[in-house]
Amino acid sequence: MQQFEVSQNALREAIQSVVHTGRLQTKQGKADEKADIQLHKTMLEASHKSYVN
């Protein structure tokens, strides 16, 4: 989070958006990814861009 300068809340919202698409499943206290690492990277970059702008 610090590398991309995004808040925990912004990251949580981005993750929930991906969960809503069905590409990610959540479990209590965990996230079980169906996606590869590239999706994760893309999600963080998109979150960072929307947070900065």
pTM score? 0.47
Structure tokens at 48: 């960072």
24, 35 contact by CB (below 8 A): yes
pLDDT of residue 53: 55
Longest dimension (CA), the chain: 32
Query: Cα 31–6–9 angle (5° rounding)?
Result: 55
Query: Cα 36–42–45 angle (5° rounding)?
Result: 145
pLDDT of residue 28: 67
51, 18 contact by CB (below 8 A): no
pLDDT of residue 48: 76
pLDDT of residue 52: 60
Which parts of the chain have pLDDT scores under 50? none
